[in-house]
Amino acid sequence: MKLLFLTQTSALGPSSRYRVYQLLPLLEKLGIHCEVSPAIDEQLYRQLYLFTKERSSRRAAFLAAWRKRRDDLRRIDSFDAVFVQKGVFPGLYSGFESRIAGRKPLVFDFDDAIWLPREGGNPLLRALHRERTVQDILHCATAVIAGNEFLAEYARRFNRNVTVIPSAIDLDRYPSQLKLASMNARGQPVIGWIGSSTTLPYLKALRQVFEKLQFVPRVIASGDPTVLGFPVDFRPWRPENESAELAQFDIGIAPLPDTPWEQGKCGVKVLQYMACGIPVVASAVGVHKQIIQHGENGFLVRTEAEWIERLQVLLADAALRARLGASSRRRVGEKFAVTSAAAQIAAVLRRLGSD
């Protein structure tokens, strides 16, 4: 089978990286010949989201994506099927997906509650957002892949062929760390968080937690850390040193508010921590409750007092961190391995002709 992947971004974008790019070598081995076309290429992504001297506008990104997809439409007849990752303009325009579906089997993959208008971001895009366009995409797709059951439940209202495939992790990219030994050599443990400029504000909820603990967390992200309003040990996110930076964490954190948008998230940062053998403290929200086994590979918390209590316990007990971390890595290998995700996607693709 020859497949065209239409991704939102280059591999620099976390959603495209975990939902598509890391799977490509495995899919090739399974007989799926892949070609990828990102709507936002690497250069434009760096200008939009990362720390670069040259900045680009949202308007430039919109026009570039439009031109890219217009060109893709001209060549889809040379492929057996098309895999659309999250859509080009979800909530704004469904025309490209509709036109593709009229000519080729279309697989639509999404890992966010894209039918909901996002908080923050461009006010104009928020004002233009329409849930109906997302529904149109789901309706015209031959098959839908959802990153969790919350997303799948919504998709099933518009498409009967929906498969849940969680975001996955390549354990080879995250070598296991001997946390107990590294702690003894390094001194004070590191509480860390990794994310993007759009998710950075989630950390604001823990301001009083860190003030009461008298602790400065480490933050790996794109964006401006001053928006948090409290001190952090900030490290700009870079793809080339992501794993090395994560390896310095002794505890990973993942705060989330309990809203419909967050219910749609797929927990990649939690999986990253766990793949490194890092114990996790996370909000008991959405998919976190499916990934984390409370007390076995991390802790699920709901209140400020629980955040403080669990972090204090882990800060004080290196042996506990090592035990939970080892269990975390095993959990990823058993339930969220990239090989499993690739096999499930290949199965969806092979069924396209019979559905």
pLDDT digits (tens, 9 = 90+) for 133-166: 999 999 999 999 999 999 999 999 999 999 999 9
In 3D, which of 281, 297, 295 has the Cα closest to residue 336? 297
What the block records as the tokens of 255 is: 């705060």
How much is the mean pLDDT over the chain? Answer: 92
SS3 197: coil
pLDDT reading at 177 higher than 60:
no
* Distance from C-alpha of 49 to C-alpha of 46, rounded to nearest angstrom: 5
* Stretch 329-352: mean pLDDT: 96
pLDDT reading at 181 higher than 50:
no
* Distance from C-alpha of 55 to C-alpha of 41, rounded to nearest angstrom: 14
Architecture of domain 2-168+337-350: 3-Layer(aba) Sandwich (3.40)
pTM exceeds 0.75 for this model: yes
- Percent of the chain whose predicted confidence (pLDDT) is above 70: 93
pLDDT recorded at residue 52: 53
DSSP string computed for 51-118: --SS---HHHHHHHHHHHHHHHHTTGGGSSEEEEES-SBTTTB-HHHHHHHTTS-EEEEE-S-TTSPP
* Distance from C-alpha of 134 to C-alpha of 109, rounded to nearest angstrom: 12
pLDDT recorded at residue 355: 58
Domain with CATH 3.40.50.2000 in the chain: 2-168+337-350, 171-335
Count of helices and strands (H, E) across the chain: 17, 12
What the block records as the tokens of 240 is: 């080339």
pLDDT recorded at residue 121: 63
pLDDT recorded at residue 343: 98
Backbone angles phi, psi at 352, to 5 degrees: -55, -40
* Stretch 62-88: mean pLDDT: 94
DSSP secondary structure letter of residue 294: B
Q: Are 282 and 295 contacting, i.e. CB atoms less than 8 angstroms apart?
A: no
What the block records as the tokens of 16 is: 């495209």
Among 53-62, 108-117, 311-320, the range scoring the smallest mean pLDDT is: 53-62
For 171-335, CATH number out of 3.30.70.60, 3.30.1490.190, 3.40.50.2000, 3.30.470.20 equals: 3.40.50.2000
pLDDT reading at 284 higher than 50:
yes
> Count of alpha carbons within 13 Å of 163, Cβ hemisphere only?
20
pLDDT reading at 179 higher than 90:
no
pLDDT reading at 127 higher than 70:
yes
* Distance from C-alpha of 234 to C-alpha of 82, rounded to nearest angstrom: 40
The total of other beta-carbon atoms located within 10 Å of residue 52's CB is: 12
pLDDT recorded at residue 180: 42
